[in-house]
Structures are given as structure tokens and as C-alpha cells.
Amino acid sequence: MQMQRNLNQLLLGSDPKLRRMLRYWGATGLFYLVGIAVLLQQVDGGTPRAHWANLVVWFCAIGVLSFFVLVRFSVQFRIAPWQLAVAQGVFAIACEIGAYAVTGPIRGASLVILQVVIVFCIFSLRPRATMALCAATIGMLGATMHAMVSYDPVAYPANIEWQHFALSAASLVAVTVLTGEMSKLRAHLKRQKEELVAAVGTIRTLATIDELTSLANRRYMNEVLHAEERRQGCTGQRICIALLDIDFFKRINDSYGHDGGDAVLRTFAAAARTDLRAGDVLARWGGEEFLLMLPDTDLREAKKILARMAERVGAIRVTDLDVELRVTFSGGVVERRDCEPFADTITRADKAMYEAKMGGRDMVIAA
């Protein structure tokens, strides 16, 4: 089993993108295998150009194996995917035109494969590069047919070869144009998807984050509380809820304007979340009110956390407004009771906060 894993690692690597490219190589390898089988059948059937047919068979087989090595070690060889696509496209066209020259009476049917080659190129080449490959294919095909007519006009009548050329050239151009449009459409859809993903990310951010303070907003906080309520149920896990209100915020707005009030809110938020632990959630609850959730915390530990927060907030200065301005908050903190809805817990915290404001502000009361 270990030997098999090591062999898979050696042949296929571990990169998903590389494995996908090798799967594409495997699909084209099967296609080549069918073509080689047809050529060998022609040889067994007594085609007058058996020697050349065998050469084409060997050329195809060696080329396919060589491309496995190039694809497998493309990173080590520093070969870009588009370079591999061009090389494989040119090789496939050369194999197909070579097979056309030695196949015999059924050679016209083999020209369909040229269109398949062009379609494969849509996944790696830009429309202009695909068009250039199409033009090169038509040129190579025309030169080959002209040489065949000149070498053996009886086996290759000019009128038949001209019809083959005209139909193949028209089909190649049509397929190339269509694949080019498909490539543009894929690129357009990809850009739209990227824009949609970015827009969804922005909407998600706006739906969960308060734009002014960069804290969680009330809507998201409610979702967190509902999820926590479902998760905990009546397990008795300790969790504390605190409501905080910036003191004299109306006076700040009256003195410094709403821009000054916004600066105080931003400064408070930045200072308050500094002492939060992983799992703690601080949200702007409304106006100058903030709600703090402290999971796995009893009331004594919650009071310590809020004391540190009050000390840090009291030490900040909003230098853009007034270096003498001291920001403080009043708060109420409670521990959730068993099976108590968070709405009731918040109501109790709100009452405790009101007591702190009535008691002189700049304090936290634990109910």
C-alpha cells in the first residue's frame, strides 16, 4: 500500500492543479490511442504507405509520453500552462496532418480531429492565440495537400483535396470564432463571479460590522446571542452580559459636534476591545451603548475584566478634540441564570447600568 502511494506521488504529484492537468493529458492520450489504432488497422489492411504510417504512429506515441513528462514536471522545468497548451496543440496538429497524408481513402474523416484540437485550446489560450493556431493549421494543411497532389495526383485528386481543404478551413475558422466567443464569455463570467463574491463579502461585512466603530453591530450580536442560547440551553455554563454607556455623551456631541462624538466612539471601541479575550464579543448596541458578552466567565471574573477596561478607557485621550477630555463609561454586568433567555439577562444588565448612571457614573455595578 505504501509503495502504491509512493508511486502515485511520483507519477501524479500532490498538487490538485497538476493532477487535473494530468487527467487532461490522460483524456488526450486516449484520443491518440484511438487514432493510432486506426492507423495500425490501415497498415494491416495493406495501405501503400505503411512505412510512413508506422513513422506517424511512433511519432505520436513518443510525443504523448514526452508530454506526460513535461506536464508532470512543468513546475521544475518552469513551463507555463499556456506554453504547454501551445506545444500540445502544435504537436496534435502535426500528428493529424501526418495521419491525413498516410491514411488513405478515409483521410477526409480524420480532419474532424483538427476541430477537436482547437476546442481543447480554449481552456488555456486567449482568443488571439487560438486564432493564430488556427491560421497556422490551415497553412500547414494547405501545404501538405498541395505536396500530396504534386507527388501523387492519381491517389490524391486535386478536386478532392480542394474540397477537403475548403471544408476543413471553413470549419476550423467557424470553430475558432465560436470558441473565442466562448472564451470571452468564460472570462466575463469569471469577472462577474469575482465581483459577486466581493460584493457578497462587502454585504456580509456591512450586515455584521458597525461601520463607525468596526465592532459587531446589534443585528450580528443578536445572532450570536441566539446561537449561544441554543448551544448552552440549560447546561448551567457560566456566561456574563454587560451593558456599557459612555458618560455625558450628549454633552460631548454638543461641545464638539457629531464628528467629535464619532471620534470618541471610535477611540472608546479601540480601547475597550484591547482587553477582550478570545470568545468575548463586544458590539455597538445603539448610539453610545455597547453590549459585551463574556462566555465561560463568572461574575467575579467579569468585574475584573470590566475594571481593566475602565482603566484603559479612562487613560485614553482624544487628541483631535481636547487633550483634557477624559472618556468614561457606566456599566451594568450580570451573570446569566440557568435557562434564562438572553433578553431577560440583558434587561437585568440594563437596570444595573441605570443604577450606575444614577449613582454618579464612571462605575460598573454587578447585579
Specify whether 288 is catalytic.
yes
Element containing residue 119 per DSSP (H, E)? helix 112-121
**Residue 188 in contact with residue 195, Cβ under 8 Å?**
no
Residues 6+ apart with CB under 8 A from 9: none
Interatomic CA distance for residues 215 and 57, integer angstroms: 68
d(C-alpha 36, C-alpha 42), whole Å: 10
- Beta-carbon contacts of 108 under 8 Å, excluding residues fewer than 6 positions away, are 160, 164
Please check whether residue 357 is in contact with residue 245, taking contact to mean a CB–CB distance below 8 angstroms.
Answer: yes
For residue 216, give the DSSP letter. B
**Local confidence pLDDT in tens for the 367 residues of the chain:** 566 666 666 677 778 888 888 888 888 888 888 888 888 887 776 665 778 888 888 999 999 999 998 988 888 888 888 888 888 889 999 998 988 888 877 788 888 888 888 888 777 778 888 888 889 999 999 999 999 999 888 888 999 999 999 999 999 999 888 888 887 888 888 888 888 888 877 777 677 889 899 999 999 999 999 988 888 777 778 999 999 999 999 988 888 888 889 999 999 999 998 888 888 999 999 889 999 999 999 999 999 999 999 999 988 887 777 767 888 999 999 999 888 899 999 999 999 999 999 999 999 999 8
Q: What is the pLDDT of residue 155?
A: 83
CB 264 within 8 A of CB 274: no
107: nearest Cα among 56, 63, 58, 64: 56
Cell digits of residue 130: 487560438
Grid cell at residue 159: 478536386
315-363: per-residue pLDDT in tens?
888 777 776 788 899 999 999 988 889 999 999 999 999 999 999 999 9
CA dist., res. 365 & res. 17, Å (int): 59
Read off the pLDDT of residues 95-124 as tens digits, 9 standing for 90 and up.
989 888 888 777 888 888 888 888 887 777
Q: How far is CA 328 from the centre of its chain?
A: 44
- Alpha-carbon distance of 245 to 264, in angstroms, equals 12
Global pTM?
Answer: 0.55
Which residues does 88 contact at the CB level (< 8 Å), separation at least 6? 28, 67, 120
Is residue 258 classed exposed, middle or buried when 0-12, 13-18 and 19+ CB atoms within 10 A define those classes? exposed
User: Which domains occur in the chain, in start order?
Assistant: 2-201 (no CATH), 218-366 (3.30.70.270)
Grid coordinates given for 179:
470558441
Question: 45 is written with which cell numbers?
Answer: 489492411
Query: Which one of 96, 161, 288, 335 is the catalytic residue?
Result: 288
For 126-141, letters b (16+ CB in 10 Å) and e give ebebbbebbeebbebb
